[in-house]
Amino acid sequence: MSGEARIDSPTPVPDEIKLWSSGQEQAFAALLEMAEAFFATDWPESGLRPRLDPMLVGPSGVGKSHVVRAVGQKLELPILRLTFNEWLVNGAKETPHTLVRVHMFVESNKRGLIHIDELDKFKSAHRTDWSTSVHGELLLLLDRSLQQPTRGLLWTPFMLAKLRKSFLIIGSGTWQTIWSENAKPKIGFQNKAIVAPRMIQREIEKSGIIPTELYRRFNSELVIIPPATEADYRRGAEMFDLERMARELGVELDYVNAVNRGLGARWLEETLARLLRIARKQGRQLFSPTLAPTPEKSGEPDFEFEELSENDADMP
């Protein structure tokens, strides 16, 4: 990949990026619009700084990380993904420290995306010195005001300017309990309640799950991916060839059940797993036999920046 963002007229998502729900498509369009505005604008150092860092919200399995990867792939940008559970503060015995990874990512690339996932785990209540330190480092990163030398790596004026102008930070989180509460059927109705994005935004703002000072570092207009609809699941099954496999095996896919279970991409993956088992019982082969992985080359670095890997915590 070139590392250069191509800011041009809107074009379709590349064929290799499969966005299977309407929510994913809308989120992709919103993130792409903000990213293109960020990378195409050379705002002055003094004066207003555009608050373009977006926050992506959706229940588990809707494909938040997948959409971020799609934006990175569209703009040919590398991605560094950070999470609360994997954050290593400066001074920790384990390495590499998270801010060291950020420094190396910024130093190694002309432009890029920094994806901070699991934002809702950066909770308001700091019960340990560790969580307090993680919170402090995250705020400094979001402000692009890192100063403290780390293992001999200096945040020089050039590096800070590069971080401010050439690296968009995208936050994401689930706020799963809020989605679960809003998806419950209303009294007197059997079908599930429709989850309105505006309602979800208000509930997230009122919840106080993450500190206000953290929430306000991002653009307040949340980019929301709602749960998949029956039409989305049908589209995903067609896109990933599940419907054809099911027909050949004499299996009927239950899309109403898919909506009720609310598993998102996990339903597609579980459906594929079920079809593979059925095919084995019928003595049929849906795909070529699995080949053993080849050994990796020696001299690999201790860690790598995310290169649009398909193996990620969040599903397509």
**Cβ–Cβ under 8 Å, residues 79 and 170:** no
Looking at the structure, tell me whether residues 90 and 194 fall in a common domain. yes
d(CA 316, CA 70): 10
Looking at the structure, tell me whether residues 90 and 26 fall in a common domain. yes
* pLDDT value of residue 131: 84
Q: Is residue 194 part of a domain?
A: yes
Looking at the structure, tell me whether residues 254 and 209 fall in a common domain. no
* pLDDT value of residue 7: 38
Q: Is residue 290 part of a domain?
A: no
- Mean pLDDT for the stretch of residues 221-226: 94
* pLDDT value of residue 243: 95
Looking at the structure, tell me whether residues 98 and 246 fall in a common domain. no
Give 17-71 pLDDT, tens digit per residue. Answer: 789 999 999 999 999 999 999 999 877 776 788 899 999 999 989 999 999 999 9
d(CA 10, CA 252): 38
Looking at the structure, tell me whether residues 202 and 250 fall in a common domain. no
- Predicted TM-score of the model (pTM): 0.82
* pLDDT value of residue 206: 86
Residue with tokens 């306000």: 216
Looking at the structure, tell me whether residues 145 and 175 fall in a common domain. yes
Burial class (CB in 10 A: 0-12, 13-18, 19+), 31: buried
Looking at the structure, tell me whether residues 85 and 148 fall in a common domain. yes
Looking at the structure, tell me whether residues 146 and 242 fall in a common domain. no
Using CA atoms, how far residue 305 sits from 235, 243, 291, in Å, is 32, 35, 26
- Mean pLDDT for the stretch of residues 193-218: 81
The number of domains in the chain is: 2
14 confidence band (pLDDT: 50, 70, 90): low
Looking at the structure, tell me whether residues 220 and 249 fall in a common domain. no
Q: Is residue 158 part of a domain?
A: yes
Give 95-135 pLDDT, tens digit per residue. Answer: 889 999 999 999 999 999 999 999 998 886 667 888 888 99
Calculate Rg over the CA atoms of the chain: 21
Looking at the structure, tell me whether residues 208 and 113 fall in a common domain. yes
Looking at the structure, tell me whether residues 50 and 116 fall in a common domain. yes
Q: Is residue 134 part of a domain?
A: yes
**Cβ–Cβ under 8 Å, residues 78 and 306:** yes
% of residues, the chain, pLDDT over 90 = 54
* pLDDT value of residue 151: 65
Q: Where are the alpha helices (DSSP H) in the chain?
A: 22-40, 64-74, 98-108, 129-142, 157-166, 176-182, 197-207, 212-215, 230-239, 242-249, 255-261, 265-281
211 confidence band (pLDDT: 50, 70, 90): confident
- Mean pLDDT for the stretch of residues 274-278: 96
Give 171-204 pLDDT, tens digit per residue. Answer: 999 998 888 776 554 444 444 445 566 788 888 8
* pLDDT value of residue 201: 86
- Show the domain range for 201: 22-224
What value does the mean pLDDT of the chain take? 84
* pLDDT value of residue 179: 83
d(CA 104, CA 247): 50
Residue 150, domain CATH: 3.40.50.300
Q: Is residue 51 part of a domain?
A: yes
312 confidence band (pLDDT: 50, 70, 90): low
User: Of the residues 224, 244, 266, which one is the last residue of a structural domain?
Assistant: 224
d(CA 55, CA 34): 11
Looking at the structure, tell me whether residues 126 and 48 fall in a common domain. yes
Q: Is residue 100 part of a domain?
A: yes
User: Of the residues 224, 247, 272, which one is the last residue of a structural domain?
Assistant: 224
Q: Is residue 268 part of a domain?
A: yes
Rounded (5°) CA angle 215-79-263: 70
Q: Is residue 106 part of a domain?
A: yes
Cis peptide before 149 (omega within 30 of 0): no
At what angle are helices 265-281 and 230-239 packed, to 10 degrees?
A: 50
